[in-house]
């Protein structure tokens, strides 16, 4: 099972407490730990977290710098923990605009956890689904009939992603009901779960509620339920 999370609401969380927005991002990092532990504990195969979108470069420089600092610290501190929990780390997104020190930390984390056979933890940084779709379409090749798998493979390549299945459950905190350019291809048949809880408050119970709601959904992929087949006309309509 692949769960993806749009971790939204850090800024509002801080502002409601009269704190600067970066304080929300710092507390949000603790929520990341909780979500990772909860997901690994529930046997989730892949967890993809949206940490920074290509559009987020439009924020004030101080906030952007703070986020990248936080992200590098996270990798440096968490790699050992991932090893202990057999979690494989993978950072997806563009890499051409990242600070060399961050790139080094990413490559180190990915290399160190390469052999881990437990959950795959993908963190999306400088990520845009549209950008990756455009890039994947631009790769020249002699494949005439590019099928779903071949295109998915190209997408994974442009995103520096290890091979994973499509998203089953997409969670967005913070109350907004939109995708904000996240995993547009991979979420084609994902179940969407929007929750008003702000990301820094998100805990193991919230994760559990999302999984419970998911278990109640009926994934039909365009088909109809067997019980709904009531007459042969259904097939001829």
> Which residues are marked as active site?
8, 56
Closest approach, Cβ 22 to ligand IPE, in A, equals 9
Q: Which does 202 bind (CB under 5 to 8 A by kind): Mg ion, ligand IPE, none?
A: none
Cβ partners under 8 Å of residue 97, min gap 6:
57, 126
Cβ partners under 8 Å of residue 48, min gap 6:
2, 3, 4, 5, 92, 122, 123, 124, 164, 167, 183
Closest approach, Cβ 101 to ligand IPE, in A, equals 19
Closest approach, Cβ 90 to ligand IPE, in A, equals 16
Residue 11 near ligand IPE by CB under 6 A: yes
Residue 8 near ligand IPE by CB under 6 A: yes
Site string for ligand IPE, 54-93 (x = CB under 6 A): --x----------x--------------------------
Residue 8 near Mg ion by CB under 5 A: yes
Task: Tell me which of 31, 51, 158, 170 binds ligand IPE, using CB under 6 A.
Answer: 51
CA–CA gap between residue 17 and residue 88 (Å, rounded): 35
Handedness of CA 181, 15, 205, 48 (dihedral sign): positive
Segment interacting with Mg ion (CB under 5 A) among 7-15, 124-132, 181-189, 191-199: 7-15
Q: Which residue is nearest to ligand IPE (CB)?
A: 11
Helix H or strand E segment including 62: helix 61-84
> Phi-psi category of 225—alpha, beta or left, where left has phi over 0 and alpha has psi -120 to 50?
beta
Task: Tell me which of 22, 66, 93, 174 binds ligand IPE, using CB under 6 A.
Answer: 174
Closest approach, Cβ 123 to Mg ion, in A, equals 17
At CA 188, angle to CA 183 and CA 191, rounded to 5? Answer: 90
Q: Judge residue 180's burial from the number of C-beta atoms within 10 Å of its C-beta, 0-12 exposed, 13-18 middle, 19 or more buried.
A: middle
Interface residues toward ligand IPE, by CB under 6 A: 6-12, 50-53, 56, 67, 174, 176, 178, 180
């Amino acid at each position: 099972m692949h769960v993806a999370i749009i971790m939204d609401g850090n800024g509002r969380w801080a502002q409601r407490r009269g704190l600067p927005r970066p304080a929300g991002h710092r507390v949000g990092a603790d929520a990341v730990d909780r979500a990772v532990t909860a997901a690994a504990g529930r046997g989730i195969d892949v967890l993809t977290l949206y940490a920074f979108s290509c559009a987020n470069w439009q924020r004030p420089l101080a906030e952007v710098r703070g986020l990248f600092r936080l992200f590098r610290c996270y990798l440096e501190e968490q790699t050992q923990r991932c090893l202990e929990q057999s979690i494989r780390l993978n950072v997806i997104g563009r890499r051409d605009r990242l600070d060399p020190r961050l790139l080094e930390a990413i490559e180190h984390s990915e290399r160190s956890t390469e052999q881990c056979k437990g959950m795959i933890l993908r963190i999306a940084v400088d990520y845009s689904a549209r950008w990756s779709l455009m890039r994947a379409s631009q790769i020249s090749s002699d494949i005439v009939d590019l099928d779903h798998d071949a295109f998915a493979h190209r997408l994974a390549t442009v995103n520096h992603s290890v091979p994973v299945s499509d998203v089953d459950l997409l969670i967005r905190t913070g109350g907004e009901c939109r995708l904000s350019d996240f995993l547009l291809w991979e979420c084609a048949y994902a179940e969407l779960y929007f929750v008003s809880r702000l990301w820094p408050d998100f805990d193991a119970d919230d994760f559990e509620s999302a999984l419970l709601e998911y278990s109640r959904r009926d994934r039909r992929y365009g088909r109809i339920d067997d019980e709904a087949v009531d007459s042969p006309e259904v097939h001829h309509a």
